[in-house]
């Protein structure tokens, strides 16, 4: 899963990015509102973590522009401003959650997972496609009751397909989900990861279908 962190304090930004990457999130980091706004017009994220006091365009400005474009990506405000009026304003203009610094790491990760769960039909922690199961709390897969160990990018790709199980996911969306700003995006790499996942799912009731020129589809076998 891919997060956008918008934070201009270098030490805090580095700590948060490292923490989230240790939790196997793909994290892009930007330091000002203009850069964040440009990136949010081009790329797709699962959750946005947004500081309010950032240069060039304020956090509230980034949030307003995002919602004016009808972009529904979940946004969590991370701020030192412990003001009820400010919190209410941010929620009114479209924030989904609000945390006051200093940030407690376990609570942050739990709240991110809660935002992700809201996007799942029924808001369930357990998602399944045949005998392939995914637990949002642990971000782990099981296959026929056994743990399915996956390298980080294969897991991120399968997460993206699993959260959209039964719907087609464009190849570009998969590229965006597994590569960060510091990576070199590769369509060939996506095809390789899909091939590896198919081999691991050979005995499964779940399968990944290629729709030429459209994308990929995770569904149960006929």
Q: What is the CATH number of the domain that holds 14?
A: 3.40.50.2300
pLDDT digits (tens, 9 = 90+) for 38-73: 999 999 899 999 999 999 999 999 999 999 999 999
Domain containing residue 185: 123-220
> What beta strand segments (E) does the chain contain?
2-6, 26-30, 47-51, 75-79, 97-100, 126-129, 132-135, 140-143, 146-148, 168-169, 206-211, 215-220
pLDDT score at 179: 94
117, 136, 166 - which closes a domain: 117
Give the model's pLDDT for residue 123. Answer: 66
* Residue 213 clears pLDDT 70, i.e. is over it: yes
Domain boundary among 101, 117, 133: 117
Same domain, 111 and 127: no
Q: How far is CA 39 from CA 33, 35, 101, in A?
A: 10, 6, 25
134: which strand partners?
A: 127, 141
What are 125's two structure tokens? 């922690």
The pLDDT, as a whole number, for residue 97 is 97
Residues 7 and 113 in one domain: yes
Question: Cα(136)–Cα(43) distance, rounded to whole angstroms?
Answer: 23
Picking from 85, 117, 149, the residue at the C-terminal end of a domain is: 117
If you average pLDDT over residues 14-36, what whole number do you get?
A: 95
Tokens standing for 197?
């996942």
Whether the model clears a pTM of 0.75, i.e. scores above it, the answer is yes
Q: What is the pLDDT of residues 152-194, one digit of tens each?
A: 999 999 999 998 888 999 999 999 999 999 899 899 999 999 9
Same domain, 155 and 100: no
Q: Name the pairing type of β-strands 126-129 and 132-135.
A: antiparallel
């Amino acid at each position: 899963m891919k997060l956008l962190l918008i934070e201009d304090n270098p030490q805090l930004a580095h700590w948060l990015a490292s923490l989230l990457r240790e939790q196997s999130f793909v994290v892009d980091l930007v330091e000002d509102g203009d850069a964040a706004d440009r990136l949010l017009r081009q790329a797709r994220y699962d959750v946005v973590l947004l500081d309010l006091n950032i240069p060039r365009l304020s956090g509230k400005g980034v949030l307003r522009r995002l919602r004016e474009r009808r972009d529904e990506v979940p946004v969590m405000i991370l701020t030192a401003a412990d003001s009820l009026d400010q919190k209410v304003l941010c929620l009114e203009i479209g924030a989904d959650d609000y945390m006051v610094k200093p940030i407690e790491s376990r609570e942050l990760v739990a709240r991110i997972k809660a935002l992700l769960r809201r996007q799942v039909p029924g808001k369930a922690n357990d998602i399944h496609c045949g005998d392939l199961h995914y637990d949002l709390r642990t971000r782990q897969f099981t296959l026929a009751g056994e743990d399915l160990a996956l390298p980080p990018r294969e897991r991120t790709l399968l997460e993206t397909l699993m959260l959209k199980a039964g719907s087609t996911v464009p190849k570009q969306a998969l590229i965006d989900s597994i590569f960060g700003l510091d990576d070199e995006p590769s369509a060939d790499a996506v095809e390789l990861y899909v091939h590896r996942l198919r081999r691991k799912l050979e005995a499964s009731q779940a399968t990944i279908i290629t729709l030429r020129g459209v994308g990929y589809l995770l569904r149960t076998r006929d």
